[in-house]
Structure 1
Amino acid sequence: MPGVSDAWSDRVSVDRQQTAAQPRRVVVVGAGMAGVQTAVALREQGFAGTVTVVGAEPHQPYDRPPLSKAVLLGKAEDSAFDIDFDSLGIELRLGLEATGVRPADHELDTSQGPVPYDVLVLATGAEPIRLPGTEGVPGVHLLRTLDDAERLRPVLARQHDIVVVGAGWIGAEFATAAREAGCAVTVVEAADRPLAGALPAEVAAPMTGWYADSGAALRTHARVTRVEPGAVVLDDGTRVAAGAVVVGIGARPATAWLTGSGIELGAQGEIVADARLRTSAPDVYAVGDCASFPSARYGERLLVHHWDNALQGPRTVAGNIVEDGQTDAVYDPVPYFWSEQFGRFVQYAGHHSGADSTVWRGGPEGPAWSVCWLREGRLVALLAVGRPRDLAQGRRLIEAGAAMDPDLLTDPARPLKSAVRTG
């Protein structure tokens, strides 16, 4: 398995002997989607020991996607998970910051002292990258937490001129919400196109027009030099009026607190997990945005910062905990995400970096189109704009490793599944 130590396959967890009087204790660090779903999945799969979820925020655990939509626009007060934690026997310890792990002692260090565990699950997610030189600058915002959304809601309500730094997924979604609220929006992007780090140029370039269609200004090849009261200054000296600045230039795994723990971290700061989502430390798992895992499907290690990964991975973690490591269940999903931006529903499934050919279904000048990526004739990824049926069928075909007929695939009037090669 690419990127996985051979020692992991033979590793036997220590200190696993339990008695009826001392049921196993699972502690989950992180109260977002990955952490909460791990706790729920443990109960669903019959785990009878204690389950404790440790969260740094004081709020009841909540879902993040609505923050850039309903919560931001004041259509919902919050996005708390509809889960009865008490009835499931899940203990929540909120407002408690994890500060370190001592695997040899089976203890989690926190701001309020050590928390013992038999099994630890790391699900701390990712944190937004800050624009250098803007920390603490008035009027500069991030959008990651419920508190962030609550600070931004009155900004939109007052219809400020807003500068969004970064034309990635979160930048586009925030710009969409700000335009809906009636704000004047300028999006500043250092690259030559939106989504430069996520999609190939020929696919992302047509999305440039979406900004103008919505009334937002998009400035590419532009970097922010500094933020001043009421303005953003670009590297060419241009001053852009800004009652508020929202930074969306990416995120990194929230793992700095693990430094010195002995738990292996990767080049991007992510926790290096194996195919069963075990870390390099005994009895410690990692799941969601904070962890990478080896994909046999794609032949490389993946770090996926999307909601579906945080939903699916916990089932594998819970299964391995419940079975006490005596299972062959591995985590090798077809990554999936979606984005609602500028009146369009954009969906993506798979991983296209190893593709050797690209097939379009419809043209990007239209309201609905798809792009298929093939490797050796097999579908490995698909982007669908306003074509949810393509996405649903494509996701299943990617999972099946289906060989496709490119000529049939190009016809957007044909169901995607009808382009599968037979014989």
Structure 2
Amino acid sequence: MSEQRRDEVRPAQRRVVVVGAGMAGVQTAVALREQGFDGSVTLIGAEPHQPYDRPPLSKAVLLGKAEGSAFDVDFESLGIDLRLGSEALGVRPADHVLDTEAGPVPYDVLVLATGAEPIRLPGAEGVPGVHLLRTLDDAERLRPVLARQHDVVVVGAGWIGAEFATAARDAGCAVTVVEAADRPLAGALPAEVAAPMAGWYADSGAELRTHTRVERVEPGAVVLDDGSRLPAGAVVVGIGARPATAWLTGSGVELGAHGEVVADAHLRTSARDVYAVGDCASFPSARYAERLLVHHWDNALQGPRTVAANIIGEPTDEPLEAYDPVPYFWSEQFGRFVQYAGHHGAADRMVWRGDGSGPAWTVCWLREDRLMALLAVGRPRDLAQGRKLIEAGTPMNPRLLTDPARPLKNATA
């Protein structure tokens, strides 16, 4: 990333424009006000709906137990100019202008918070009965599918695939999950950790087919690469997501190998006066000595506080805040509460607390004697204590860690 010099002092009434009205965008706008920013704040969202939280979409909203998940934010009283149904088309950093469907929007500081978008199944676009699950409209289209108890085929056994399969089984649907890899969560967890999770599908009455690729989707059926056909009243695609940044191509804002906005340790981009936060941006982690791209809710909640503090502090001599969180996420699937904290990529040792066969167990990853990450299934206390131990860099005793009856905080070196 090119070196970015700090702005000169600007007038008090600076204009901050936030593009993206999901968690990261909303929290950025709110954090600016909470931290005392008195300039103008404009929040621009592509969807026409009031800004909403996404996790309930695969749970309560999908099953008809809630009508929506709108954020409890009074934008008007906070002095936030909310502009919905206006897609971002491009940005001209040299002119400090954001181009949108509704026309150009000038800014003094721009925050990119456009999140991620689901990867589509090649050849399936336009086929009736094929669904994604990312937006409120997606969830609303899927609700009658579950209500009618269709035969459902889920493509992809990742986090979203497992959560949807859980909801579909709860609704009484027959569910088959097809996964190209040899196990669920192949891109997220080592084989020995994901192995116990494969049994959860059968326990719930869902069929999991690994080593299985989709050849094509037809109305009412999924044809697999071995020629077999699965009846499908609906097909739900959950094969991953990528940063929603195609609109930035050619803008001068640096994009990374995965299409994400490349941010620095302060969440500034390569373009002057432009920040990036949430699912659309990667950032360098001193804690893990690598660049992280985190597609999870907590990142979209925490990052905006750093962005707001740095926007407010930039015109002064206050040092900018670095962003280096312990990543965290959770998933509810097949009657289990799964939580993960940290990043295990650089770990050199894995320690089990429990053998994975029971309802509650934890896996810890260490680098030398430091806890780098943990996955807790039905053990929220392990997660809470482990997250603090990761943040503090506390030396651990691997032998004591193996005892699931011993609190993590009492397994230090």
TM-score range, shorter-chain basis? over 0.9
Are residue 217 (structure 1) and residue 218 (structure 2) matched? no
Report the counterpart of residue 312 of structure 1 in structure 2. Answer: 302
Are residue 337 (structure 1) and residue 329 (structure 2) matched? yes
Quote how far apart the aligned CAs of 1:12 are: 2.1
Which of 371, 385, 388 is residue 393 of structure 1 equivalent to?
Answer: 385
Helix, strand or coil: the match of 1:293? strand
Preserved contact between residue 326 and residue 390 of structure 2 (Cα < 8 Å) = yes
Question: For 2:234 and 2:320, how far apart are their aligned partners in 1?
Answer: 51
Preserved contact between residue 6 and residue 314 of structure 2 (Cα < 8 Å) = no
Preserved contact between residue 285 and residue 291 of structure 2 (Cα < 8 Å) = yes
Helix, strand or coil: the match of 1:47? coil
Question: For 1:351 and 1:13, how far apart are their aligned partners in 2?
Answer: 34
Aligned ranges for residues 106-121 of structure 1 at < 5 Å? 106-121=96-111
Quote how far apart the aligned CAs of 1:206 are: 1.2
Question: For 2:352 and 2:187, how far apart are their aligned partners in 1?
Answer: 20
Report the counterpart of residue 420 of structure 1 in structure 2. Answer: 412
Report the counterpart of residue 53 of structure 1 in structure 2. Answer: 43
Which of 379, 394, 401 is residue 402 of structure 1 equivalent to?
Answer: 394
Quote how far apart the aligned CAs of 1:17 are: 2.7
Helix, strand or coil: the match of 1:84? coil
Report the counterpart of residue 343 of structure 2 in structure 1. Answer: 351
Question: For 2:273 and 2:219, how far apart are their aligned partners in 1?
Answer: 50
Report the counterpart of residue 12 of structure 1 in structure 2. Answer: 6
Report the counterpart of residue 221 of structure 2 in structure 1. Answer: 231
Aligned residues: 411
Question: For 1:418 and 1:251, how far apart are their aligned partners in 2?
Answer: 38
Q: RMSD of aligned C-alpha atoms?
A: 0.9
Question: For 2:191 and 2:7, how far apart are their aligned partners in 1?
Answer: 46
Quote how far apart the aligned CAs of 1:327 are: 2.2
Q: What code does the residue aligned with 2:215 have?
A: T
- Unaligned stretches of 5+ residues in structure 2: none
Deviating 4+ runs (over 2 angstroms): 325-328
Quote how far apart the aligned CAs of 1:73 are: 0.1
When the two structures are superposed, what TM-score results if normalisation uses the length of structure 2?
A: 0.98
Q: What code does the residue aligned with 1:247 have?
A: V
Are residue 167 (structure 1) and residue 161 (structure 2) matched? no
Question: For 1:112 and 1:316, how far apart are their aligned partners in 2?
Answer: 29
Which of 262, 266, 271 is residue 281 of structure 1 equivalent to?
Answer: 271
Which of 63, 68, 76 is residue 53 of structure 2 equivalent to?
Answer: 63
Quote how far apart the aligned CAs of 1:228 are: 1.1
Question: For 1:105 and 1:268, how far apart are their aligned partners in 2?
Answer: 27
Quote how far apart the aligned CAs of 1:92 are: 0.4
Which of 175, 179, 184 is residue 185 of structure 1 equivalent to?
Answer: 175
Q: What code does the residue aligned with 1:339 have?
A: S
Are residue 379 (structure 1) and residue 371 (structure 2) matched? yes
Aligned ranges for residues 186-205 of structure 1 at < 5 Å? 186-205=176-195
- Unaligned stretches of 5+ residues in structure 1: none
When the two structures are superposed, what TM-score results if normalisation uses the length of structure 1?
A: 0.96
For each residue in 1:179-201, what CA deviation from the matched residue of structure 2 results, as whole angstroms up to 9, or x when unmatched? 00000000000000000000000
Which of 18, 32, 36 is residue 28 of structure 1 equivalent to?
Answer: 18
Question: For 2:10 and 2:67, how far apart are their aligned partners in 1?
Answer: 46
Question: For 1:250 and 1:35, how far apart are their aligned partners in 2?
Answer: 21
Report the counterpart of residue 72 of structure 1 in structure 2. Answer: 62
For each residue in 1:272-321, what CA deviation from the matched residue of structure 2 results, as whole angstroms up to 9, or x when unmatched? 00000000000000000000000000000000000000000000000001
